[in-house]
Amino acid sequence: MAAISLEHVGKRFTGGIAAVTDVSLQIAHGELLVLVGPSGSGKSTVLRLIAGLDAPTSGRIVIEGEDVTEIPPQQRDLAMVFQSYALYPHKTVRENLAFGLQMRRIDAARIEERVREVASTLGIETLLDRRPAALSGGQRQRVALGRAMVRSPRAFLLDEPLSNLDPVLRIEMRTELTLLHRRLGATMVYVTHDQEEAMTLGSRIAVMRDGALEQVAAPMELYDRPVNTFVASFIGSPAMNIWPGAMIASDWEKLLVGIRPHDIELTSAGAGDAAGRVEILEPLGPTTLVHVALDAVPPSRARVVVQANSRLAIGDRIGLSLRRDHLHFFDETTGRRVRFDEARPRTDDLRRDRQSK
């Protein structure tokens, strides 16, 4: 039995805007499932539907076998960490943590005990008597987490909890969240727009676009076998290069070919599968991101990642050699992935084609 199950869930707002369309998802116990997608993709709406803060216009939401679609959020025994933390400003940290337990009529001694336990897990014991206004962003975030943890809910729902933190803190908290998840073994549903966060945190990732699920899979599966051009360019940074197939070889005409910047080698201008001119060099530290203007019609660019010590200058003419085993093919019209071997030409053909152009 899944911990949380969404069955053909849809949400249409008054005015006809469909925020979520036919989403079906099974979340296993102890799993950390990440909902990722651009803004407007419906991921936060799905989270709110699970929480019960909004009601679906179609479909069912089932938690541990129980249909909760009609049940209000107070009774679902879920905990939510809001993007803005939503701490009670007029209560101290201790009171913030205790509130949920007070709703359950648990006696004061047990509440105090539990509050201390959670506070020490998160390292906020010294903050218990302060008010949220006196806390830093990172501290507030921990209190928000603590408020969720204190009730030992059936599942945690996290709505972009790290996006209000500065980048350094964000990465630090990311690690802590991973350790926390491992320690608690709790079921978590995590929403973010940051694909890197998704890849590092999730045991499984659900990519959403325009209210629908594009692909649900483990991180490396999404990276190695994206199911369409959207997922291919969304996951992985810098983004995958996607070109019309005809640019590389004539019998790739009806296809789009994709190759990640890390999987391209630069050679001299004559050799390689494509040629072009170096336009922009972005030093990233250990590597450099090279933007190449390709000799192709219509004009295209290539993103290539090279070692930082390669001696390249703007204006240099170079060749691009694509690693065969890392090519992705997609149908030109639908954008869907096409099986590799069907489309795979022989290496010689490529060179022969280019020379004849």
> Which pair of tokens denotes residue 292?
């190449």
Nearer to another protein, 3 or 292 (CB): 3
In the bound complex, what is the minimum distance in angstroms from residue 14's beta carbon to another protein? 5
Query: What part of residues 22-51 is at the interface with another protein (CB under 8 A)?
Result: 51
Nearer to another protein, 99 or 331 (CB): 99
Q: Does 53 bind another protein (CB under 8 A)?
A: yes
Query: What part of residues 122-151 is at the interface with another protein (CB under 8 A)?
Result: 147, 151
Query: How far is Cα 94 from Cα 146, in angstroms, rounded to an integer?
Result: 10
Q: Let me know: does 49 contact 11? Beta carbons within 8 Å.
A: yes
Contacts of 61 (CB under 8 A, 6+ apart): 4, 5, 6, 7, 9, 49, 50, 67, 68, 69
Binding mask 75-104 for another protein (x = CB under 8 A): x--xxx-xxx-xxxxx--------xx--xx
Q: Which stretch binds another protein (CB under 8 A): 69-77, 116-124, 189-197, 224-232?
A: 69-77
> Which pair of tokens denotes residue 357?
């152009």
Q: Let me know: does 216 contact 235? Beta carbons within 8 Å.
A: no
Q: Let me know: does 219 contact 178? Beta carbons within 8 Å.
A: no
> How far out from the chain centre does Cα 154 lie?
23
Within 13 Å, how many C-alpha atoms sit on residue 207's CB side?
Answer: 23
Nearer to another protein, 151 or 328 (CB): 151
Nearer to another protein, 151 or 181 (CB): 151
Size of the site for another protein (CB under 8 A): 30
In the bound complex, what is the minimum distance in angstroms from residue 294's beta carbon to another protein? 38
Residues in touch with another protein (CB under 8 A): 13-15, 51-55, 70, 72-75, 78-80, 82-84, 86-90, 99-100, 103-104, 147, 151
